Amino acid sequence: MSAPGAFYITTPIYYVNDSPHIGHAYTTLACDAVARFMRLDGQRVHFLTGTDEHGQKVDKAAEARGMDPQSFTDEVSQRFRDLVAAMGFSNDDFIRTTEERHKRSVQELWRRLVDAGEIYLGSYAGWYAVRDEAFYAESEIRDGKAPSGAPVEWVEEPSYFFRLSAWQDRLLDWYDANPDCILPESRRNEVISFVRGGLQDLSVSRTTFKWGVPVPGDDDHVMYVWLDALTNYMSAVGFPDEQSELFRTFWPADVHVVGKDILRFHAVYWPAFLMAAGIEPPRRIHAHGWWTNEGQKISKSLGNVIDPYELIDRYGLDQMRYFLLREVPFGNDGDFSHAAMVRRMNSDLANDYGNLCQRVLSMIGKNCGGAVPQPGELTADDRELLGTAENLIDTVRAQMERQASHQALESIWRVIADANRYVDSMAPWALRKTDPERMATVLYALAETIRHLAILTQPFMPGSSEKILDLLNVERRDFTALGESGRLAPGTTLPKPAGVFPRYVEPEAGA
């Protein structure tokens, strides 16, 4: 993996044939939560996203708009950058495959593959799906379509080939030696059985259009867009300068997060290219599932594409982030529905987390002079709640090491439920008159629990967590502040409490 203490995570680079939608936002969000978590946990993180700008699909989209491909890609790539800003993503870099640093890197990879005898000139005659930018064997074509449903066209042209067929056993050995290199397990099994079924040499250049990186020494060919695109993960950390600090620190990548549609490219072709060039393959490829909209496949022709900006406007950024990360086990398919979104927003956020913070902070505001209360001796119940909050990091860390944000959130919400039960059973409002010292202890234990919760929810809901930590006047917010070392100091003045998670209320009809 990256050097000790370093962590490199990537999203796919998105095609610039179209505007970003919820699927793109989701993949980058999944990475953002992990990247933020690792930073708070003291790792040096490199989080990369970007755009895939070459190939026939983008070329055709530019042509359809009557634009030259470079101006077209400049325009559409900017929309992906705008989404990064709107979603508050914390990526450290944004790569475009039309940048010089990338062209230099992919041409060097090509030369190394040629030097290693892994590329030869031949000619291709077969099916190609522009929508998938993928070659398909005759046996894969059903009713004139690719297995993905994409239309195919017959292509015959001179082509360079990569000797993929020679890599079958070494790929199988690699999967075998690295049980977690493809997640989830069900997808790993699919990849292994695909490779066991035998591999064909792969066409890695095209001659019928020009929009790509030229093949070194043969300008008639541009490189196959997937060889070009996959290499972005290395270009961004300085390849071919393998002695650079960036490359030595971050290569091989710890995890490439991808949608299930592009797993084969990442889990078969990419490690084969790298091993063939004598470069270490990535540590993990984690494939997530597909979002549908109110039960329907998302597609432009159905007109049901979900615009991330609309979700942010309607529900709020952190609410949307929470929903996407919590609703679906990472790796599974998931459905977006308004009803499910509102349920999560009102029940998990407003009722469970929001209400806990609101109750505790307003009781402190009213009954403790607006300052962190001075606790008395802790009872077994108090210690149990605090212990649960303090130990939460161990559980969540193990879950985040497997990119399982949904599990991490479930674990955090179990502690929120514990804390709410504790409030109900301790009834601090009743202690106010009968035993104010005990009330102060209970509110202190709760404030400390909320401090832990808010530190841990930062990767998922950065803005709201920040507000809660502000309300507790907490300065140190990384994970070293968890436990005793960051304890709230009794007597610290707190700002006036304010609600953090509003309830969703349906707009009045006609409003």
Number of Cβ atoms within 10 Å of the Cβ of 99: 16
Asked if 15 is part of the footprint of ligand ME8 (rule: CB under 6 A), the reply reads yes
Q: Segment near ligand ME8 (CB under 6 A), from 20-28, 117-125, 237-245, 336-344?
A: 20-28
Q: Residue 371, CB half-sphere, CA atoms under 13 Å: how many?
A: 8
DSSP readout, 394-413?
A: HHHHHHHTTT-HHHHHHHHH
Shortest gap between Cβ of 225 and ligand ME8 (angstroms)? 8
Q: Provide, rounded to whole angstroms, the least separation between the CB of residue 30 and ligand ME8.
A: 9
Q: Which of 93, 99, 140, 261 binds ligand ME8 (CB under 6 A)?
A: 261
Residue 250 binds to ligand ME8 (criterion: CB under 6 A):
no
* # chain residues binding ligand ME8, by CB under 6 A: 19
User: Which one of residues 32, 34, 49, 52 is an interface residue with ligand ME8 (CB under 6 A)?
Assistant: 52
HSE-CB of 347 using CA atoms within 13 angstroms: 10
Taking the complex as a whole, the smallest distance from the CB of residue 235 to ligand ME8 amounts, in Å, to: 11
Convert residues 295-334 into a mask of x (bound to ligand ME8 by CB under 6 A) and - (unbound). ---x------------------------------------
Tell me the C-alpha distance between 47 and 416, whole Å.
30
Q: Tell me the window of 114-122, 228-236, 340-348, 452-460 that interacts with ligand ME8 (CB under 6 A).
A: 228-236
Rounded to the nearest 10 degrees, the angle between the axes of helix 436-457 and helix 355-367 is 140
Got the DSSP string for 6-61?
EEEEEEEEEETTS---HHHHHHHHHHHHHHHHHHHTT-EEEEEEEEE--SHHHHHH
Nearer to ligand ME8, 251 or 444 (CB): 251
The least distance separating ligand ME8 from the CB of residue 360, rounded to whole angstroms, comes to 37
Q: CB-wise, 290 or 309, nearer to ligand ME8?
A: 290
DSSP letter string, 266-297: IIIIHHHHHHHTT-PPPS-EEEE--EEETTEE
Q: Which two tokens stand for residue 422?
A: 């504790």
Asked if 50 is part of the footprint of ligand ME8 (rule: CB under 6 A), the reply reads no
Q: Per-residue string for binding with ligand ME8, 406-445, x by CB under 6 A?
A: ----------------------------------------
Structural Rg of the chain based on CA atoms: 26
Interface stretch with ligand ME8, choices 253-261, 343-351, 354-362, 402-410 (CB under 6 A): 253-261
- Kindly state whether residue 227 participates in binding ligand ME8, applying the rule CB under 6 A: no
Taking CB under 6 A as the rule, does residue 336 contact ligand ME8? no
H or E stretch covering 255:
strand 255-259
- Lookup result for tokens 């993960």: 233
Structure tokens at 483: 């436990």
Helices (H), 282-404: 308-315, 317-327, 338-343, 355-367, 380-400
Single residue of 7, 8, 14, 110 touching ligand ME8 by CB under 6 A: 14
What does the alpha-carbon distance between residue 287 and residue 9 come to, in Å, rounded to a whole number? 13
Work out whether 24 is an interface residue with ligand ME8 (CB under 6 A). Answer: yes
218 forms beta bridges with: 215
Residue 26 binding ligand ME8, by CB under 6 A: yes
The yes or no reply on residue 209 touching ligand ME8 (CB under 6 A) is no
Residue from the set 29, 83, 95, 229 that interacts with ligand ME8 by CB under 6 A = 229
**Chain residue whose CB lies nearest ligand ME8:** 23
Stretch that binds ligand ME8, among 19-27, 67-75, 444-452, 479-487 (CB under 6 A): 19-27
Question: Smaller CB distance to ligand ME8: residue 109 or 262?
Answer: 262
Task: Respond yes or no on whether the N-terminal peptide bond of residue 459 is cis (omega within 30° of 0).
Answer: no
Q: Tell me if residue 198 falls in helix, strand or coil.
A: coil
Alpha carbon distances (Å) from 280 to 178, 247, 270, 276, 350 = 13, 12, 11, 10, 47
Q: Is 460 helix (H, G, I), strand (E, B) or coil?
A: coil
Q: Is 259 in the site for ligand ME8 (CB under 6 A)?
A: yes
Query: With CB under 6 A as the contact rule, which of the stretches 13-21, 102-110, 148-156, 235-243 interacts with ligand ME8?
Result: 13-21
User: What residues make contact with ligand ME8 under the rule CB under 6 A?
Assistant: 12-15, 23-24, 26-27, 52, 229-230, 232, 258-259, 261-262, 290-291, 298
